[in-house]
């Protein structure tokens, strides 16, 4: 075949004429070199420490904190996250800041600015400052760290790390469910968080069982395992089926309807992929799932005999009614409030306890709804910024909806805001932020060299003489 009529040869020739070899070599020198073996170990170790700290330590359920300025608390996850971020800033010589997705950071900074105003109106200044710091570390600092690590090529190791840690979390939950045994570290932390309530919860069996897991809360336990599903779905062979089976079993045993719902949203992606390969198999599986769900929810279903697992499928009416009641009170208060200042800047962080705690502490001092909580505490504009940031992430990464389960995990976590105050938890939000970082760095392919070439191109057109 004549090389002149070969499209590949002509394209390569034109590319070489546009970018002479000397210029290409210079660009290669400017591009970041691939990480050395030591750097790869450091990146993977950083991810391992962060993932283990957020998934295995009950930071929101009694793990001791360190007092900072004027007694303000610092959790171990905040300390580890900041320390590792600074280490990467030094190691990368500032290049870590170039790995940040600008759209994501722009929305986060706007939301943090709105949230900062409500700190000044909070009756608990220390607690409000901690909430603000915790959010910044979780959604900005950790996002920067994870983006840099994943951009440097540690994706396979990071995915396998999440799978292994999630298996450990599921295993600890299974031991708790089957043997009612709590590892001493967790038992001590839970009792330190609230001796009466947690001791009562740890003693429950049968219909009243609520699996605490490693995070001290059944909702957090189920949500964590659901957010780990995309990494398990990315594995191959036996590891994939082992992880997926263990995670789904752990979610059901968590007795959390939130966890089951999040898992169902994530599983839309493999169902879609199955439908592309075998529509008949997908239809049959969908029929089985619908029939099984109908059977599970039916009053005379055999699953009703398995009262513990059944609570994950039959919604706990007392819990749901309590949350709906608090949400209705908060919404009514917001809509009927005559104070313009409170509508705009809110009443201050942690003021939703004025609704819940005085009346009944059964469901905790929270209305368990991210959007209403922010509207009540930080004002309608800040709540709108939070919702806008979630929509912006989903819209910006929408091209990955048919390609990756991570997009569905992000959607699941956004939807979970209707069930609990997701914005204030660092533990489960680590994997949520990791999924965002996973997709935003995926968009930077094919290579850093490609973008260096694009940025270095001369605006002047290149004339190609053919004669």
Q: 381-438: per-residue pLDDT in tens?
A: 999 999 999 999 999 999 999 999 999 999 999 999 988 888 889 999 999 999 999 9
Question: Is-contact 334 367, C-beta < 8 A?
Answer: no
The alpha carbon of residue 209 and the mean position of all alpha carbons in its chain are separated, in whole angstroms, by: 26
Distance spanning both ends of the chain, measured CA to CA: 21
Q: Identify the segments of the chain with pLDDT beneath 70.
A: 1-32, 69-72, 206-208, 289-322, 354-366, 443-467
Q: How far apart are CA 370 and CA 383, in angstroms?
A: 9
Question: Domains of the chain: which residue ranges?
Answer: 37-266+316-445
Tell me the CA distances in angstroms from 196 to 13, 191, 192, 254, one per residue in order: 76, 7, 10, 21
pTM above 0.75, yes or no: yes
Closest CA to 155 of 451, 450, 408, 406: 406
pLDDT (0 to 100) of residue 447 = 46
Question: Is-contact 179 245, C-beta < 8 A?
Answer: no
Tell me the CA distances in angstroms from 246 to 259, 290, 347, one per residue in order: 14, 22, 43
Closest CA to 424 of 127, 146, 187, 71: 127
pLDDT (0 to 100) of residue 455 = 54
pLDDT (0 to 100) of residue 46 = 96
Tell me the CA distances in angstroms from 126 to 121, 122, 135, 337, 458, one per residue in order: 12, 9, 14, 27, 53
């Amino acid at each position: 075949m004549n090389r002149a009529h070969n499209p590949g040869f002509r394209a390569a020739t034109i590319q070489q004429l546009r970018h002479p070899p000397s210029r290409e070599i210079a660009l290669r020198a400017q591009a970041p070199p691939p990480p050395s073996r030591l750097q790869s170990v450091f990146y993977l170790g950083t991810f391992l420490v962060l993932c283990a700290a957020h998934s295995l330590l009950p930071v929101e359920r009694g793990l001791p904190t360190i007092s900072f300025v004027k007694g303000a608390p610092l959790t171990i996850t905040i300390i580890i996250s900041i320390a590792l971020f600074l280490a990467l800033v030094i190691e990368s010589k500032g290049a870590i800041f170039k790995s940040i997705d600008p759209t994501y950071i722009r929305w986060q900074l706007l939301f943090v600015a709105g949230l900062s105003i409500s700190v000044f109106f909070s009756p608990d200044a220390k607690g409000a400052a901690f909430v603000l710091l915790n959010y910044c570390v979780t959604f900005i600092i950790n996002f920067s760290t994870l983006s840099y690590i994943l951009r440097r090529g540690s994706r396979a190791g990071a995915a396998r790390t999440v799978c292994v840690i999630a298996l450990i979390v599921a295993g600890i939950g299974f031991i708790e469910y089957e043997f009612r045994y709590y590892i001493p570290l967790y038992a001590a932390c839970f009792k330190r968080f609230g001796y009466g309530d947690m001791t009562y919860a740890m003693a429950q069996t049968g219909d009243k069982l609520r699996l605490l897991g490693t995070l001290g809360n059944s909702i957090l336990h189920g949500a964590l395992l659901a957010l780990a599903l995309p990494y398990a779905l990315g594995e191959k062979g036996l590891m994939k089926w082992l992880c997926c089976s263990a995670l789904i079993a752990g979610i059901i045993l968590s007795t959390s309807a939130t966890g089951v719902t999040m898992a169902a949203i994530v599983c839309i992606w493999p169902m879609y992929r199955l439908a592309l390969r075998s529509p008949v198999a997908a239809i049959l599986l969908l029929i089985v799932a619908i029939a099984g769900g109908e059977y599970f929810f039916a009053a005379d279903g055999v699953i009703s005999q398995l009262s513990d697992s059944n609570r994950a499928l039959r919604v706990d009416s007392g819990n749901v009614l309590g949350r709906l009641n608090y949400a209705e009170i908060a919404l009514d208060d917001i809509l009927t409030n005559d104070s313009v200042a409170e509508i705009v800047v809110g009443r201050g962080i942690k003021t939703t306890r004025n609704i819940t705690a005085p009346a009944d502490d059964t469901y905790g001092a929270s209305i368990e709804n991210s959007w209403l909580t922010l509207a009540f505490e930080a004002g309608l504009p800040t709540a709108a910024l939070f919702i806008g940031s979630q929509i912006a992430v989903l819209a910006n990464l929408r091209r990955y909806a048919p390609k990756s389960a991570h997009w569905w995990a992000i959607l699941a976590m956004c939807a979970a805001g209707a069930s609990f105050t997701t914005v204030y938890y660092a533990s489960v939000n680590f994997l949520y932020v990791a999924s965002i970082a996973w997709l935003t760095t995926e968009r930077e392919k094919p290579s850093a060299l490609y973008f260096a070439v694009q940025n270095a191109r001369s605006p002047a057109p290149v004339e190609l003489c053919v004669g």
